[in-house]
Amino acid sequence: MKSIKQSRYILITQITLLLIIQGCSSKKELNVATLSDKWISISSPRCEVWFQNWGTYQRLLVILDDDSTEVLPSPYVTEKEGKPYLKPKPYKKVEKQQLKGNLYWNGEPSWKDGIENTARWEVDRANPKLKLPRSYEVSFTLNNGELKMDASKDNESYLDLILIKLNKY
């Protein structure tokens, strides 16, 4: 009777220790779920790239700085004497293009250095409006913390970016 209780206690202790050791493992693998959420370009055009993981599928949001225009104050603005700070100054307004859509990976992505991951990116939302849906072939390669992204449509390059991750935003 005593030996049965002792063996049961030892078995429960061993299972508990095994679960603690497995659950507290410090081994991290970089996969789709652990890839940084936001990346910013260090090449031209300036843009932000967001990976949005929704569990069963993943979306990609790209915000491009498309163009900038200089906004000048009205020629009819009057300046009050002694208050030059009230007169508006010219500034640059950045036009942005937003593209958002699902990523369909060609196989399970591996985020080790130098490995190219390819996917089909089906853009279903855009601002300003575009004719949708649009489909792009994208490839991602991670090298020394920099992510190279190439997007093409009908074998014509659309985006060619070098991105760095942004940990805080």
* HEC-encoded secondary structure of 56-115: CCEEEEEEEEEEEEEECCCCCCCCECCEHHHCCCCEEEEEEEEEEEEEEECCCCCCCCCC
Whether residue 49 lies inside any domain: the answer is: yes
Q: Domain for residue 67, yes or no?
A: yes
The verdict on residue 55 lying in a domain is: yes
Q: Is residue 7 part of a domain?
A: no
- Residue 28 confidence (pLDDT): 45
Structure confidence at residue 93 as a pLDDT band (50, 70, 90): confident
Per the domain annotation, does 19 fall within a domain? no
pLDDT band of 65, cuts 50, 70, 90: confident
Number of domains in the chain: 1
| Domain annotation covers residue 23 | no
In a domain, 89, yes or no: yes
Structural domain span for residue 84: 29-165
Query: pLDDT for 101-113, tens place per residue?
Result: 999 999 888 888 8
pLDDT, tens digit (0-9, with 9 covering 90-100), for 139-155: 999 999 899 999 999 88
